[in-house]
Amino acid sequence: MRSVKFKLKNGKTVIIRSIQESDYDTVVEYLEKFSHDIGAVQTTMYPGRKKPSKEEFIKKYGTDENKLNIAVWDDKKIVGIAMISKERPDNLYYKGRTAGIGLSVLHEYTYNGIGGKILDTLEKWAKENGVKTIKAEIRHKNIPSIINCIKHGFIITGICYNAVYINGKWIHEYIAQKEL
């Protein structure tokens, strides 16, 4: 994916681009910050989880024909991360027609248009790669993501009670999907 500049609602210009191996330290720093941002009810990098090795990082955040990992940069600081990954791309019946997405944006950058731009970028990749349905699992208290997904045509199709255990509390997740 080529780098794309865009202007936020607050007037700042940020860049969205694929995550590279050289971004390791910056991504880990972002994940650590985000895991403590607003009580960690929105993250998959839970407080106390060990820092991923460089090999784990490359495996998870590398990009290939079945997934895309992107970051949003404000100068040299990551302010948002997202991914899309085809589900069961090698299965004869599924053939990667469905993809799961995940995204996070630092609290101080929410409501500036980053989430929408990320969703547009992930949807464009999905269409270019034969995906017919994208789906997200959204923490039930993550109001900015719920609003963003609905604005972008996602439909809430279900809820998974007690989906994740974070900081001593069970968190529910909404299941949302969009047909492309």
| pLDDT tens string 113-149 | 999 999 999 999 999 999 999 999 998 988 889 999 9
Mean pLDDT of all residues in 100-119: 92
pLDDT in tens, 43-90: 455 555 667 788 887 777 777 889 999 999 999 999 999 999 998 877
Given a cut of 90, whether residue 168 has pLDDT beyond it is no
Domain 4-179 CATH assignment equals 3.40.630.30? yes
Beta bridge partners of 100: 85, 135
What is the pTM (predicted TM-score) of this model? 0.86
pLDDT computed for residue 158 by the predictor: 97
Give the Cα separation of 128 and 83 in Å (integer): 15
Regarding predicted confidence, which is higher, 175 or 107?
175
Sheet holding 77-86, edge to edge: 4-7, 13-18, 67-74, 77-86, 98-105, 133-139, 169-179, 155-166
Using the predicted structure, report yes or no on whether residue 41 has a pLDDT greater than 60.
no
**Residue among 111, 66, 71 nearest 86 (CA):** 66
Task: Show me where the domains of the chain are located.
Answer: 4-179
Q: What is the pLDDT of residues 145-157, one digit of tens each?
A: 999 999 999 999 9
d(CA 117, CA 119): 5
Q: What is the mean pLDDT of the chain?
A: 87
